[in-house]
Amino acid sequence: MSEDTMKAAAGLIARLDAAETEAGPIRLRHRSYELLEPSPGASVVDVGCGTGRAVAELNHRGVAAIGVDPDELMIATARRRWPGAEFRMGSAESLPLPSQAVSGYRADKVLHVLPDPAAALAEAHRVLSPGGRIVLVGQDWDALMIDSSHSDLTSAIVRSQAGSLPNPQVARAYRNLLLDAGFQDVAVEAHTEIVTKSGFLPMVEAFAAKAVTAGSVTAEQSAVWVRDQQSRASMGRLFVAIPMFVASARRP
């Protein structure tokens, strides 16, 4: 892995760490655990586990959790942070589990980066035992809201961020995707995460940088927009609203 790649990965992990410790994501994680309805000793696969926080929290609740992620650095970080927890390399479309191996499936902010979410849900159906629960958590990237003094630039940057993802609107399709995959008792909750802390600023800055690379805004426009966000953060005026959907269902 090159030095630039390592730096980018370290930056991503730092941003994920900052986001995971915000009150909103903490509440959503705990809500996802409740919706899994795990009994003591239940087995759950956490798909796209990243650095493993949810796996560790589920284990603490008495759940036999397995974390799966396709990123080698994420898995290595998870194993270092949570010794004793189980982590495996693998993709959402091809999980390293036998059929009907687990009673719970959780995917938090995963399906929007997949080219074929339906294939991932077919795989979820395969690894879940009859009666097993699935919980999906994700944001609608097209509906991201950022308060700014430059509304046109904000719109361009948000559109660019959404356009960089394979499926930015997949969260609004959770219900129908689960029904199409053969799940029952599908329920969807809507939550809105409100972010005002400066710890989210690096993520906002990353959106602007990506928009420059995509040609959605110029470097000069990006600099103007970022300065506005930095100023807001320094005065405690940063405001980002992220529409989140939490879907749950049962495998018949």
Domains and CATH numbers, the chain: 3-139+166-193+243-250 (3.40.50.150)
What is the reported pLDDT for 196? 92
What is the reported pLDDT for 4? 58
For residue range 158-198, list pLDDT tens digits in order: 999 999 999 999 999 999 999 999 999 999 999 999 989 88
Record the pTM.
0.91
Residue bearing tokens 């995971």: 20
Integer-rounded Cα radius of gyration of the chain: 19
What is the reported pLDDT for 228? 98
What is the reported pLDDT for 16? 74
List of the chain residues with pLDDT < 50: none
d(CA 237, CA 248): 35
What is the reported pLDDT for 8? 63
What is the reported pLDDT for 2? 54
What is the reported pLDDT for 113? 97
Helix pair angle (3-20, 201-214), 10° resolution: 130
